[in-house]
Amino acid sequence: QTDSLKRSPQDLVNALHTAFGEHHARAVHTKGIFFEGTFTPSGEAATITTAKHLQKEPSKIIVRFSDFTGIPDIPDNAGPANPRGMAIKFIMKDGSTSDIVGHSFNGFPTANSDQFRDLLLSIAHSGAGASKPTALDSFLSTHPLAKRFLTTQKLPVSYATVNYFGVNAFKFTNSKNSACFVRYQFVPEREELLTSAQYEKEDVNYLIDEIQKRIASKPVVFKMYAEIATSDDNINDPSIAWPGSRRKVYLGKLTITKLADNSVVADKALFFIPNNVPAGIEPADPMINFRSAAYPISVKERQQ
């Protein structure tokens, strides 16, 4: 599938800028806030992977929550601020790291990066004043899953009260050399959502403010699962969610305990790369390596 793709990671970063502006910050999921905590493995992951951070020893974690789009001051209560992002860096005892970059929707708007570029450019050409039907209207009329992505997002009470999904499939291998394909899921203690009317009345920084208050009084906890594919599931197309009935292996618990140093310098330096994984885990969906070539371009730009 990747061989037939025409657009490069640089083309995708450029398309993000065309849609959201160029500002030498993250090209997308620009507005965000990060925290520190601990990941405690459940012990069950050893049945499906040898990945060292998922065995017995706890890891330190850095977790960055964010709003969608590359607009640095997007109101938290704007429609396009969905889905929310959750990026996690596991820092193991030996100093090695592994990253997961997920969001609050079970799926991606498009099957591959070329189509994602088309979507971004159609957004760019459909701003105020564009004549109807806009480029975005036309794109959505031929891409029903992108339409569902843009129109059926959950409106969270808090970054801590919504489910997050890894979306792209990884291959897990255990000590017996037996392999399976998985997608990550992160389940909050309680899902709490707003109605559209409540959402519109929220403050422009309601999520950023709420999560800081919440974590100052008590840790935020998510359970992390691996959703296991069957032979019926498409490993290479992140726009198609796997059926909810798939087996889920409980990998462990994220306990987010305190605000990190969110200085401009620390935010510039912090980044997550989707294919930063230890032995026992490999990228399966080709979008993972594509993303992992695009993210460093944006990281480099924000150092300038």
Q: Which is nearer to ligand HEM, 50 or 286 (CB)?
A: 286
Catalytic residue among 29, 53, 103, 143: 29
Determine the Cα–Cα distance for residues 42 and 46; give it in Å rounded to an integer: 9
Which residue's Cβ lies closest to ligand HEM?
Answer: 85
HEC letters along 196-253: HHHHHHCCCCHHHHHHHHHHHHCCEEEEEEEEECCCCCCCCCCCCCCCCCCCEEEEEE
**Residue nearer to ligand HEM on the CB measure, 41 or 166:** 166
In this complex, which beta carbon is closest to ligand HEM, that of residue 106 or of residue 126? 106
DSSP structure class, residue 290: H
Q: Which helix (H) or strand (E) holds 148?
A: helix 144-151
- Residue 170 interacts with ligand HEM (CB under 6 A): yes or no: no
Distance CA 124, CA 140 (A): 14
Selected from 69, 168, 185, 276, the binder of ligand HEM by CB under 6 A is 168
Is residue 32 a contact point for ligand HEM (CB under 6 A)? yes
For ligand HEM, which stretch binds (CB under 6 A), given 137-145, 146-154, 249-257, 295-303? 295-303
89 forms part of the interface with ligand HEM (CB under 6 A): no
Q: Which stretch binds ligand HEM (CB under 6 A): 8-16, 41-49, 187-195, 211-219?
A: 8-16
In the set 238, 252, 280, 283, which binds ligand HEM (CB under 6 A)? 238
3-class secondary-structure state, position 176: coil
Beta bridge partners of 91: 60, 97
149 binds ligand HEM (CB under 6 A): no
Hey, which bits of the chain come out as E strands? 32-41, 59-66, 85-91, 97-103, 164-165, 170-173, 179-188, 220-228, 248-259, 281-283
DSSP 24: S
Q: Which of 33, 61, 71, 101 binds ligand HEM (CB under 6 A)?
A: 101
Q: Report the alpha-carbon distance of residue 69 to residue 264 in Å, rounded.
A: 19
CB nearer to ligand HEM: give 166 or 252.
166
Q: Return the number of the residue (97 or 113) whose C-beta is nearest ligand HEM.
A: 113
Query: Closer CB to ligand HEM, residue 31 or residue 52?
Result: 31
**Segment contacting ligand HEM (CB under 6 A): 135-143, 148-156, 161-169, 225-233?**
161-169
29 carries an active-site annotation: yes
Length of the chain: 304
87, 146, 160, 254: residue in contact with ligand HEM (rule CB under 6 A): 87
Residue environment code for 148-164, b if the CB has 16+ CB neighbours within 10 A, otherwise e: ebbeebbbbbbbbbbbb
Burial class (CB in 10 A: 0-12, 13-18, 19+), 10: exposed
**Under rule CB under 6 A, residue 167 binds ligand HEM:** yes
Total residues at interface with ligand HEM (CB under 6 A): 31
Q: Can you tell me the distance from the alpha carbon of 304 to that of 301, in angstroms, rounded to the nearest whole number? A: 6
Is 295 annotated to bind ligand?
yes
| Residues in binding site for heme | 295
Q: Which spans of this chain sit near ligand HEM (rule: CB under 6 A)?
A: 12-13, 16, 26-29, 32, 64, 66, 85, 87, 101-103, 108, 113, 116, 166-168, 238, 271-272, 287, 290-291, 294-295, 298-299
